[in-house]
Structure 1
Amino acid sequence: MLRPGGADLTIAGGVREFGRATPDVIAVRDGDRQLSYAALDERSSRVACALLSFGLTTGDRVALLCGNRLEYPEIAAGIAKAGLVMVPVNPRLTAPEVAFILGHSGARMLIADSEPDLDFPGAFVRIGPEYEKWLDDARAVDPCVAVNERDPFCIAYTAGTTGDPKGVLISHRSRSLTFYATALEWGIGPGRRTVAVAPMYHGAGFAFAYAAVHCGATVSMLRAFDPDALLDMIARDGAQSVFLVPTHAQLIRGAVTTMPKLPTLDTLYFNAAALPRVLKEWVFEAFPGVGVHELYGSTEAGVVTNLRPPDARRKAGTVGHPWFATEVRVIGPDGQPAAPGEPGELYSRSPYLMNGYHQNPAATAACTTEDGFLTSGDIVIRDEEGFLSIVDRVKDVIITGGVNVYPRDVEEILLAHPSVTECAVVGEPDDRWGERVVAYLVSPGPVEPDVLEAYLRERLAGFKVPKQYRPVAALPRNAAGKILKRELRSTP
């Protein structure tokens, strides 16, 4: 019996719908492999039945450890069809980091494209011949396990500033509405084509790639970022809307001397870090006639704002206005609404917000209000026309190449090394990566960067390892003993 208002939203809904409506349209391309919507619908149903054959029940967690590839959308849809919860895992993490996520999420099964170097007690399937046989042996029937649209479809882990990563609970409703709004805003809908450039294990990478198969478009998988490979893929597959982070634009700018003609491309949208004005001007010149959007959001809040093409130049340096169905508040240090031109902490309320942090009610309470607003800890200024500019971060998150690095994670490992007495990790401007990770060290003797780097690379993902190590006699502190990282960032 249907509830008034219709069936619940689910991220598997689009695959089911277009599997019937446009069965022969290509949903996913990956090199010389491709899936029609009919095939995607069938294979995701086989994934669902195969998962349930392991005895998994509604709400159980399934971890997915792989990069962008044809199987990613079908596995995500299959997990949803089975009423299970996906736990996307970054393949660049170290074994201890992966082990924490698997343990904290309570994952009962792991699907990966390589054999992980860890002791995982649950079921494991490796993408490749084993995975194909697993699907061949499964029933090609959609189990249609009922889920509440407000229940999580995934637990996305973001590194915390005070220790271990936090698991962000993202609902079917949140992501389904994001997909539909994405189709409306950036043209990811029927008859359109896009490229999965950002990794799908990231929140934005998944949202903007999977939106294609949820809304009837075609997505091409870029396995690893390469400027020429991306431009060739756009030209070959006729991509029209493409999501990038500023680092992608910087790498294209540095590697490509003559831009190819891309007659189908009409929309670029950027996220993850501010697009520097100089780089933004280059984007306008390199992609003439292409609408450039710049958006702001977070894993916890989803998309919060968007700067649309008519204002892209006039309001360069801002992130635009609140997105569809989004309310914002800018709260000053006194707890009152900040006036235009005055800095304040940004809060947002929308249907895209997370459900909370998995098994961490204290962290959830710390970033939410009783009336449903959430803050990601960013300081903004709102001008007289309502355009928002991100001016600082309450948290010390470093965004390097579109990936978040939290200094405390690096500092904890550094402080365990015998040559480090005190340390502070900060982000500093970098023309290529947006920001680079820099470690300031107080040590009893000479610092050997090569030794520290080898030590860190055994314990941290490569993108978290500092690009520079700077010895200092003492770390600047305020009267309360807190390290003044702002002073370190301004150190010549």
Structure 2
Amino acid sequence: MLRPGGADLTIAGGIREFGRATPDVIAVRDGDRAITYAALDERSSRVACGLLALGLSRGDRVALLCGNRLEYPEIAAGIAKAGLVLVPVNPRLTPPEVDFILGHSGARVLLVDGEHESDLVGATIRIGPAYEKWLVNSSFEDPWIPVGERDPFCIAYTAGTTGDPKGVLISHRSRCLTFYATALEWGLGPGRRTIAVAPMYHGAGFAFAYAAVYCGATVSMLRTFRPDHLLDMIARDRAQSVFLVPTHAQLIKAAVERVPELPSLDTLYFNAAALPKVLKEWVFEAFPGAGVHELYGSTEAGVITDLRPPDARRKAGSVGHPWFATQVRVVDADQNEVGPGRPGELYSRSPYLMNGYHDNPEATAACTTEDGFLTSGDIVIRDEEGFISIVDRVKDVIITGGVNVYPRDVEEVLLAHPSVTECAVVGEPDDRWGERVVAYLVSRGPVEADVLEAYLRERLAGFKVPKQYRTVAALPRNAAGKILKRELRSTP
């Protein structure tokens, strides 16, 4: 007998399949806990039935506020099996920020690892003993609620650096195709092992960790990032493919004198921000057995490009070619396509694009075109071979004295200075020039501004050299590891 909705792609599909194909294979590890595919399939069905028993109906939203832990994949799959929509919430947000997301999304239930309270949801289920009791009292039968593959599986909220967060509607089809492409590109299939390093409440962290259980691999949960813990886990669990952001590599470099040999590791892939060339060269040396991919994308667009290992050194500074089934345009301010070597705004079209912003048609219209392309607001240059390099965010370009300064040009040179470990360059108001170039630095020790200026003037045009240097203990970042330049601009 045919199951209703069984022909459509849903994010519960892989767990259903491998719960039968490889029931005894470990799907998820979390410290001394582990769960097989059979158990993951059953427990996710119990989550689904438990939620439906609360009176929820197809399309209702369920918020999940927790970090990386064993329960995350089963809850996500259970929400999908029930035909509901996941609303992942960053546990580091303040109560007012959490309540905005709960209210804007219309979440009716909150599953939480912690003590958050809210009057905006009808029920709160705490992950722990109460959650386990709730599962035991729920049916283990898969409810098989019909779900259209173009229906949203989640509403992922952006960081909200330019106002209230926007809820990105991501379809089952979008993510399932991402999972399959990930398995093809980075080897996340049966018999493979990976680690959930980036937080699963963020789009990329979820996509690359959940891809493992969707495609029959094993994922180990890293609850808190510490360089030594990550390296120990790679060795212990014999991880083969690991997703990192540049900040992770920077922290490993600062904390570990020498990275130990990791014979199982064959693939590293980076996202969130461009790998500075100096740091990328260190990655090559520290992980000599791993092919290094550098990819580019966004919550709204999914993965857009990938720089693959054969070109990783030759095209350092690039993010590669368009990913599977992806078209790109590079256009000027009048939407005319620009040629090789000229900067322009990047638009992409692919099956990974969002459905739009939840309850925000104006914002959706502002970033999409009538023929289905979407921009994430980045300026890029495409070379004669089609390799794409990110120049900067449209909103981050500094106009000083009528001349454009792309912060990344300055940042790359600053990062090559031996005293600078991290940096961010922003534009700040200036009565004479309109904007002045200001550099925020994380350094290994005291750095004299005149020394830095002399260093930069040998390597950059004078108008690009910062007018001010400000040393900070750390740069503000969002959950994806991206630097929040808006917060720097507001620093007194």
CA apart distance, 1:258: 2.4
Q: Which moved more, 1:5-14 or 1:68-77?
A: 5-14
Q: Is residue 2:141 matched to residue 1:144? A: no
Find out whether 1:45 has 2:45 as its counterpart: yes
Could you say which residue in structure 1 is the equivalent of 2:74?
74
CA contact (8 A) 1:23 1:37 kept: yes
Aligned equivalent of 1:344: 344
CA distance in 1, matches of 2:289, 2:100: 46
Is contact 1:161-1:395 (8 Å) kept?
no
Deviation for aligned residue 1:394? 1.4
2:11 pairs with 1:8: no
In the other structure, the counterpart of 1:259 is 259
User: What displacement does 1:86 show?
Assistant: 0.1
Q: Alpha-carbon deviation of 1:430?
A: 4.8
**1:265–1:154 Cα change, 3 Å:** same
Match of 2:207 in 1: 207
| Unmatched 5+ stretches in structure 2 | 398-406, 409-423, 427-434, 445-475, 477-482
Instruction: Give runs of aligned pairs for residues 241-256 of structure 1, distance below 5 A.
Output: 241-256=241-256
CA offset at residue 121 of structure 1?
3.7
Give the conservation status (yes or no) of the 8 Å contact 1:82–1:145. yes
1:395 is paired with a residue of what secondary structure? helix
Q: How far did 1:310 drift?
A: 0.2
**What is the distance in 2 between the residues matched to 1:424 and 1:51?**
54
Q: Taking structure 1 as reference, are residues 127 and 470 closer, same or farther at Cα in structure 2, changes over 3 Å only?
A: closer
Task: Give SS of 1:289's match.
Answer: coil
Taking a change above 3 Å as real, the CA distance of residues 181 and 224 of structure 1, as seen in their structure-2 partners, is same
- How far off its partner does 1:341 sit? 0.3
Provide the rounded CA distance (Å) in 1 between the counterparts of 2:262 and 2:344: 41
Residue aligned with 2:389, SS:
strand
Describe the superposition over 1:119-157 as per-residue Cα deviations: whole angstroms up to 9, x where unpaired: 334210000000000000001010010100000000000
Q: Deviations over 1:276-321 (max 9, x none)?
A: 1110010000001210000000000000000000000000000000
Aligned equivalents of 1:298, 1:188: Cα separation in 2: 20
User: Residues 62-101 of structure 1 correspond to what in structure 2 (within 5 A)?
Assistant: 62-101=62-101
The equivalent of 2:305 in structure 1 is 305
In structure 2, give the amino acid aligned to 1:84: L
Q: Does 1:190 align with 2:153?
A: no
Deviations 1:334-375 (A, max 9, x none): 321011000000000000000000000000000000110000
After TM superposition, give the deviation of residue 6 of structure 1 in Å. 7.5
Give the Å deviation of 1:160. Answer: 3.8
Give me the whole-angstrom Cα distance separating, in 2, the residues matched to 1:13 and 1:425: 50
Cα deviation, 1:175-218, whole Å, max 9, x if unaligned, reads: 00000000000011100000000000000000000000000000
What is the rounded CA distance, in whole Å, between the counterparts of 1:55 and 1:207 in structure 2? 29
Partner SS for 1:199: coil
User: Sequence identity of aligned pairs in percent?
Assistant: 79
Q: CA deviation at 1:115?
A: 1.3
| Root mean square deviation, CA, Å | 2.9
Counterpart residue type for residue 164 of structure 2? D
1:32: which partner in 2? 32
Task: Determine the C-alpha separation between the residues in 2 that align with 1:466 and 1:161.
Answer: 8
Letter of the structure 2 residue corresponding to residue 152 of structure 1 = P
Change (3 A) 1:167 1:396: farther
Report the counterpart of residue 134 of structure 2 in structure 1.
134
Q: Deviation at 1:332?
A: 1.4
Report the Cα offset of residue 100 of structure 1. Answer: 0.3
Q: Closer, same or farther in 2 for the Cα pair 1:427/1:126, shift >3 Å?
A: farther
| Counterpart for residue 330 of structure 2 | 330
Runs of 4+ in structure 1 deviating by more than 4 angstroms, as ranges, are 396-399, 423-432, 463-471
Asked if the contact 1:381–1:389 (Cα under 8 Å) also holds between the matched residues in 2, the reply is yes
SS of equivalent residue, structure 2 residue 304: strand
**Alignment gaps of 5+ in structure 1:** 400-404, 408-422, 433-455, 457-462, 472-492
**Normalised TM-score (structure 2):** 0.82
